[in-house]
Amino acid sequence: MSAAHADDPASPIPPDPELIDRPAEGRHRVVIVGGGFGGLEAARALADAPVEVVLVDRRNHHLFQPLLYQVATAGLAPASIAAPIRGILNRQSNTRTILAEVTAVHPERRCLALHDARDSTLAYDSLILAAGGCTTWFGHDDWRALAPGLKSIDDAIEIRRRVLLAFEQAEREPDPEVRQALLTFVVVGAGPTGVEMAGALRELARFVLARDFRRIHPEATRVILLEGGERVLPAFSPALSESAVDQLGDLGVEVRTGAMVTAIEPDGVLLDDDTRIPARTVVWAAGVRASPLAEQLGAETDRMGRVVVDDRCRVGGRDDLFAIGDMARFEQDGDPLPGVSPVAMQQGRYVARRIVERLAGDEPGPFRYRDKGSMATIGRSRAIAERGRFELSGLMAWLAWLVVHLYFLIGFRNRLVVLLNWAWGYITYQRGSRLITGDRLVAGGPTAPEADARPMDEAR
C-alpha cells in the first residue's frame, strides 16, 4: 500500500485522462470502499436513490466473519458463509462493482487510486470508507507466521490445515512429549472470536476427531485460552464472563486470565511469568487495528488506527467523506462504539440516507446507534447473550445465537446449507469439512498470505 499522504502532490495520479473513471454527467456518484457489513448495507440502502453507486473491494465476495471460526474448525465449508458481491447487488441497476485494491485516498481531489489491471483513478462525489480492520500483533510481526489471525477465508483454511495436520502427526509420533505438544492448541485473546475458537477446537477434538484415530485419546488434547486482562469477554457483564468460563471448563478448555504472551516460538508459547506452554498450533485472536486507509485521510486517529468521525460519521466535518464500521471511531455517550457488525450496518444505512436527503436539500440529524445486544457461542448448547439488563446463558442463549446468525447470513442457499450442517452436526457429532489443503504435510510453518493485513476486509 502506498504510504503517501492523502494530499501529497507526489502521490500517484495517472496523468492520462482516459485512466480517470469519472461520474456520468449530471449523476452524483457515491463510491463505497469495502464490501463487508457496513459497505454492503450502504449500497443496498442506495438501491432506489437517484445516484450512481460504485462499490470497490479487493475481493469478489462478502464474508460473514462471525462464522469464520467454524470454517477454521471444519464445521462449515467456506462457500457457506460467503457470497459474490456482484450476485448480491446484480438487481440494483444504479450499482456497479469494481474488483481492485485502493492504494490511496485523495479527499481534496475527490478521487481514489486503484491497483488493478489498469491502475486507474476513480473519481467520486461522495465517499463511504468501510474498509474494516486487520489483525495486529502489537508490534510483534514475527509472530504472524506462527500464530495466524482469523479475518479471512484464507486464514480459516490455513488454521484448519494446521489443526488437522497436528492430529495426523500426533497419531504417528512416538515421543510422548512431542505428541502432547502437537495435541496442545493455544488461543491468544478471550474476546468473542477467541472464546468461540477455543470451544470449537475442544469440541472438534473431543467429539469428532477422537473417533477417527486409533492412538489419540480425547483427554490427551489440551485447548488453552489465554487472556491478558482480568476476565474473558470483557465487553459482557462480569456474571456472563464467569458463566462463559464455567461453560468453557465443562468442555475441557483451560482458561488463563492475566496471562501476557511474551514470545511465540515454533514449539511453544512463553508467558510473562516465565511459564512455557509446549504447543505446535497457536491461533491469534488478541488484536484488531483499523484499515491502513484510515491513516491516509489527514484526520485524527486513535491508538487502534481508527479515524475519528463526528456525530454524522463525517471525516474532518466534510459532507463528502464518511467512515463507518471498524475503521471509524464514533463516540456515543462518551464511549466509542464497539467493532461489531450491527454498528457498521446501522452506520451504512444512516450514511446512505444522509447522502440522499442532502441531495434533496434536507439536513439529517446525527447518527444514534441502537444496541440490540451482544452474544457469543461457546460450544454445543453453550452460549451467552446480553441486551441491556437482560442476560441469557446456556441452551437458551445458544438457540438465540443460532437464530440471529442464520437471519443475518446472506442468501437463502447459505442459510439452508448452514442450518442443515448445524442440524447434522448436532445429531451425529460429525463435521464434513475436514479437508487438509496445501502441499506441506507438517503442522505449523508460515501462514497463507494474510488478506486481513490489507484494507478491504470488514472486521466483525
Catalytic residue numbers, as ranges? 196
281-284/288-290 β-pairing: unpaired
Q: Which helix (H) or strand (E) holds 223?
A: strand 222-227
Q: Which grid coordinates are listed for 129?
A: 470508507
Residue 101 and residue 114: Cα distance in Å, rounded? 6
Contact 434, 210 (CB under 8 A): no
Residue 186 and residue 281: Cα distance in Å, rounded? 6
Phi-psi region of 185 (alpha: psi -120 to 50; beta: other; left: phi over 0): beta
Residue 322 and residue 314: Cα distance in Å, rounded? 4
Give the type of residue at 410. Answer: I
DSSP class of residue 190 equals: -
Residues 6+ apart with CB under 8 A from 399: none
Residues 6+ apart with CB under 8 A from 8: none
The distance of Cα 387 from the centroid of its chain, to the nearest Å, equals 22
Contact 347, 353 (CB under 8 A): no
The values of phi and psi at residue 252, to 5°, are 100, 10
